[in-house]
Amino acid sequence: MLSYRHAFHAGNHADVLKHIVFVQILEHMRQKDKAFWVIDTHAGAGLYALDEGYATKLAEHVDGVSRLWSRNDLPPAVAEYLEAVRSINGDRLSAYPGSPWIAQHYLREQDRLRLFELHSSDARLLADNLRHMAQQTIVTQGDGFAGLKALLPPPPRRAVTLIDPSYELAEDYTRVVTALRDSLQRFATGTYAVWYPMLSKPESRRFPQKLKEIEVDNWLHVSLSVREPEAMGMFGSGMFVINPPWKLMETLRSVMPWLTGVLAQGEGASFVLEGESK
């Protein structure tokens, strides 16, 4: 949706969960010498200031990444994620990397980044923020759902696709499921990571089950509620990963109890971790 700007929410609890999972997927992709692609269908601006501009309006990072910044008891997977955040900060947390910036942090010379952003201002910011990666990166202003079709299968036959629309439009839930079904027909062995918000809306509550009904042999679902469900606002978020790294379940099993305790905003904080492998 053209009114949505992720800068308002940068570094919140949902970003923390999304990017911890994303980093583990990228680490797995790097274990083989063969090239891989990262495709981000809703890339945003790529980099966000936390001490000025949009992020100061809501300051959601205060209950997100800021809670992790000075801790000395980080689980290894959380420390790996925070390393990417620290790469653009000094001693003080003043900026937050979006998914494209985190992806480029892990790319090697042979890997490629393909980014879509519908909002014209954010698309320009994204291209500027990643200009040092111009030889490996293509930024397209446009609909990531539509653009994804032309990229699959990717030439190296190895890719991770991140799908995280704003879900401000109810149709986004349906479009995600449709895009996944189409993508799996084109490229069944790819890794697909879908982020979604936990809201009181019926389409949000039903969404995890809709994802589970997609016919795949291997999936993982993790969600984090930071407080009791409420009528208004996002009280948690989830990640649904198709063809996840084989160690991701084990990693999250050790991370999620710790993360739930650290990011809890009241009674009712909880997590779900489940999966299927045939």
Cross-strand bridge partners of residue 131:
none
**Full 3-state SS string of the chain:** CCCCCHHHHCCCHHHHHHHHHHHHHHHHHCCCCCCCEEEECCCCCCEEECCCCCHHHHCHHHHCHHHCCCCCCCCHHHHHHHHHHHCCCCCCCCEEECHHHHHHHHCCCCCEEEEEECCHHHHHHHHHHCHHHCCCEEEEECCHHHHHHHHCCCCCCCEEEEECCCCCCCHHHHHHHHHHHHHHHHCCCCEEEEEEEECCCHHHHHHHHHHHCCCCCEEEEEEEECCCCCCCCCCEEEEEEECCCCCHHHHHHHHHHHHHHHHCCCCCCEEEEEEEEC
Residues annotated as catalytic (active site), given as ranges: 164
Instruction: Tell me the pairing of strands 270-277 and 47-49.
Output: unpaired
